[in-house]
């Protein structure tokens, strides 16, 4: 049976951290499938450019920090006021100001990572639930990381936050069912500005470790996200889809 070309027509999405990279790619994928989209990020200029690309008639930007409670409340309220609903939430905003061994980590940086990457995701979900989804249903997608499933070098606090986000995904999937589905994606290295420290200047070397022979692209994550948020995934909740070009399946 052929799927509709706009399976999300009539729905509204809010995507955090979406002025560029994975967040923008997800917002664009949802818009192409018919959704109206609110995007958030810290820089108004980058958001304005993103809205122009998405189409101002069916997209809107709300600038602010993902760990700012007033910003979160404003973004949710304005989304529902402008588009009439909030059916899809994508918790993509993330930070990583800590690099190096955890035993030497600045605890302030660690707290910041957890506040944005974990507590922030929960706070956005609470607002979406109270503002719309509790009464009307919906779907939530958390952008985690392969690092949440296995240790890595130098980004231990970030990986710990993504492990917590994966656990949060499972917990919320149980608590918000049956009306709201909650899933996650766990990408390996994707070619974005955020991740460039992991591959810049040695991309061929890093990509050689992947059985599929390349790093991820934002579109790879966006397509998976759009599926998990759409009607084709109506019987999927509490799952974390690994997107890693086969890296985690490589034998020793």
Q: In terms of Cα–Cα distance, which of 90, 104, 75, 78 is closest to 35?
A: 90
199 catalytic? Reply is: no
Angle at 10 between CA 34 and CA 49, to 5 degrees: 50
Q: In terms of Cα–Cα distance, which of 214, 219, 218, 238 is closest to 228?
A: 238
Q: What is residue 56's three-state secondary structure?
A: coil
40 by Cβ neighbours in 10 Å (0-12 / 13-18 / 19+) ranks as buried
> In this structure, what token pair is assigned to residue 109?
């940086």
Catalytic residue among 24, 158, 199, 210: 158
Task: Kindly report whether the peptide bond that precedes residue 248 is cis, defined as omega within 30 degrees of 0.
Answer: no
> In whole angstroms, what separates CA 208 from the centre of its chain?
26
Residues annotated catalytic, as ranges:
158
């Amino acid at each position: 049976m052929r799927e509709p070309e706009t399976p999300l027509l009539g729905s509204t999405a809010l995507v955090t951290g979406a002025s560029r990279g994975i967040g923008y790619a997800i917002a664009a994928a949802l818009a192409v499938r018919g959704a109206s989209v609110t995007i958030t990020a810290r820089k108004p200029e980058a958001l304005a450019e993103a809205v122009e690309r998405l189409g101002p008639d069916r997209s809107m930007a709300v600038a602010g920090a993902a760990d700012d409670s007033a910003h979160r409340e404003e973004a949710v309220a304005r989304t529902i006021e402008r588009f009439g609903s909030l059916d899809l939430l994508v918790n993509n905003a993330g930070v990583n100001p800590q690099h190096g061994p955890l035993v030497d980590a600045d605890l302030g940086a660690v707290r910041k990572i957890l506040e944005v990457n974990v507590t922030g995701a929960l706070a956005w979900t609470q607002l979406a639930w109270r503002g719309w989804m509790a009464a009307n249903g919906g779907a939530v997608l958390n952008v985690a990381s392969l690092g949440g499933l296995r240790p890595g070098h130098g980004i231990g606090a970030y990986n710990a936050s993504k492990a917590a986000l994966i656990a949060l995904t499972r917990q919320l999937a149980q608590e918000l069912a049956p009306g709201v589905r909650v899933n996650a994606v766990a990408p390996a290295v994707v070619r974005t500005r955020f991740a460039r420290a992991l591959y810049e200047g040695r991309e061929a070397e890093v990509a050689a470790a992947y059985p599929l022979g390349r790093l991820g692209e934002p579109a790879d994550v966006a397509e998976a996200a759009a599926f998990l948020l759409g009607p084709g995934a109506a019987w999927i909740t509490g799952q974390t889809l690994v997107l890693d070009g086969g890296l985690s399946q490589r034998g020793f």
